[in-house]
Chain A
Amino acid sequence: MKHITEEPIDIEKLMREAHHPEAGAVVIFSGEARNTHAGRKVARLEYEAQQELAEKSIEEILWNAQSRWPLKIAIAVHRLGKVEISQPAVVVITAAAHRLEAYEANFFIMDEIKSKPPIWKKEFFEDGESSWG
């Protein structure tokens, strides 16, 4: 799958695919596992998805972004499985002629990814408890 992976996300590899001769602005967002949530210490995250639907949903989100902003490149990859603290869980890269459209489209894609594809986060706390996000 293009947008869903059980392997660690290789940001540098994605960045190498994000250059375009007509793009003067490349925006990268990396959503990373944070070690606290609501005052509790988080040990790690785990993500689960309905993979076929999540893949299709992210493809649709990128297509929508490309129809709203003149993007040269739009990339989004979401990680599944165990994600350790400070590892990226999701990476979105947008490239456009100018920074405004690259920033706006990146924000839009990330917002959509948080709510639409069937992907779920489970937080594992240092006290041994866990809960679905």
Chain B
Amino acid sequence: MNVIVNMYAALKDYFPDSIELSVEAGSKISDIQTALIARNPESRSLLDQCRFAANHEFMSRDAIITDGNVVDILPPSSGG
């Protein structure tokens, strides 16, 4: 199945703003992280610090992705 993955802030130094990933049914959020690190190993340190959201809800790395999910990867906040 395919998921859209949106990148924010410093993650865009490593990946395009938005990418479509093909993942196996039953995959977890952590599997997306692993796939991204395989694409660009230099992103590992930042990805380890990121939060994840699917369809505008924060998700743990253990959460199962479902078909059509839009996953947002959120680096540490720096608002204010």
Give residues in A with beta carbon < 8 Å to B: 31, 47-50, 52-54, 56, 78, 89-90, 110, 113-122, 132-133
Contact = CB atoms under 8 A, between A and B. Distances in A.
Nearest to A110: B80
Contact of A50 (B13, B72, B78): B72
Nearest to B75: A120
B53 A113 contact: no
Interface of B: 6, 8-10, 13, 51, 53, 56, 58, 72, 74-75, 77-80
Given A48-B9, A50-B74, A120-B10, A31 B53 contact: no
Contacts of B51: 118
A90 B80 CA distance: 6
Contacts of A52: 56
A119 B51 CA distance: 12
